[in-house]
Chain A
Amino acid sequence: MSTGIGRARARRREPAVWLAAPGALFFVVLVGIPLLIVIWTSLLNINASDIAHWATAPFGAMANYADGLMKPSVTGVSVLDSVWISIKFSVLSTVFGTPIAFFAALSVHHAFRGRALLRSLYLVPYVIPGFVIALLAQLAFQDHTGAVDHLLAALHLANVGTYWLIGGNAFWAMTFTEVWEVWPFIYLLLLAGLQSIPKEQLEAATVDGADWWPRLRYIVIPQLKGIYALAFALSTLFHFGNFTLPYVMFGNTRPSSVVTLPINIYYIAFQGFGFGIASATAVFNVALLAVPASVYLWMARRARAREARQERVRQARVQEAGA
């Protein structure tokens, strides 16, 4: 990895290094210390409430931890159940959003009049603030008076008064809203991936008589796989952490089918005042997300290495052409 000017002057002490100090300090205070505190509180409370047990049976503390995760919290839903709700919610949202995103990216790759406008339109759901969409969804899904109820009834798909905001239906109303709101994120990444495919490949294939399907199948899809994996991981990660939608969309009558992990932790901490259990759950959440996050970092590094490789090849070609 080259560091530009840094290489030439590596030996000399650069006072400019200290420019990073204020940012780094803020970062340590706002992220580093809080992370240590949350780990500490998650352990402290458990030890304090059950210290004798901890002394005699080292694994007792773990059972206690597990108890906190298994028992229903103030929301009436156990932490493990909300982990499952969050996983379903985030993976399904990504999966349902994928075909829309693929279609959208593929439909604006070739040049045509109005392409810029269409690209902007595709971004609209993503750029409307999440709380606005959640408030709108709350009204749209209301029974008897909501637009969704009437629309589905008019299409003979459901009866008026299906009650989309309570019971199991609420989960699907929430997932639908989430899909509508964030598919453009996957679309954006796919579009970036499409634009990095060398033009010559598509043009050469066309000269050789390849129609859209072979071009898509043998040139585009293989080169989009990497970035799609990245988009999948990132998008799932974002959905998993979405607090705004379930919190705002359902007001104070939140059905248990939408108690996602962030909602549950929030209520344990700020309504049940169980900061210990909430911290333990938050730490558990970090550990849970570390898996997709490390996959993301790994994929990103690979994507970067691939880019660097392509860049080297391109430069070599330019040099050859010049020689």
Chain B
Amino acid sequence: MKALAAAAVALALLIALALLAPQWLVFMAMLALAKGVVVLGLVVLMRTGLVSFGQGLYFGIGAYAAALLSHQWHIADAAVMLLAAAAAGGLIAALLGLLLARYRDIFFAMLSLALSMILYGLLVKSAALGSTDGFNLHARTFFGMAFASGMERRVFLIAGSACAVVAALMVHRLLGRHWGRLASAVRDNELRVSYLGASPYRVVYVNYLIAGALAGFGGALAALAVGHVDPETTYWTTSGEFVFIAILGGTQSIIAPFVAAAIFEALRTIASQYAPNVWQMSLGLAMLAIIMFQPAGLWSLAERWRRSA
């Protein structure tokens, strides 16, 4: 009930932001939301004790799936794009997960990184997809409804927000039940999980699939915001950003990824505005500060505040 109320408030705020904020802020909010959804998936995966340094793979797949729909098949409906992107991410994750779910720790992290870089290599080499330049996408309708120019992005933000809130609620439900405890159990002791009669492989596989689908969705949302896709979406620095945001927020709450993504985007915008040559260093220092002083993420501040209140 509390979660539902929080979701309703979050959605109302996002809709207000989408309708009232200036275009640049709407754009930033879309990007933050897109990354928040990807990190939400990463958090699901991290519950099993696994960190993927290759979520850019699914982010890129989602972005390119949306762009290809518009480019190749002239489908300009944002709703179709978002759903197709999530499906594409989930589908590829379902395939690669068969392999990856066998690996743990650094092997899992490196293998996921390698797979994302393979896609990066393919995209850079394929002239038909614009190689390093990528190509544009145009979304003009949502579920067949057309909007005045300038309104599109606002509508897409509302749609993205609704989907993100639903996804976050579903993840919250999932992790609050047996599945969430089972994921922690796999992180702690796989031998015991097997000897209780459950399959650690299956837990990792399903969580990987969820993470892939969410990252695909996030990729499409980002592509809708930018109106353009390029191989950078699958590059390792993009994947690194997601891990950065996950650590920034912490993995104990499903709201944390979104708050952290918003802070990250704001931090980056401000840093590149006022210190264009050292903005990456500013982010690096922020990361250093988090790891040293708030290793459980910013969310632990909120937890502490709530407990003392």
Q: Do A and B associate with each other? A: no
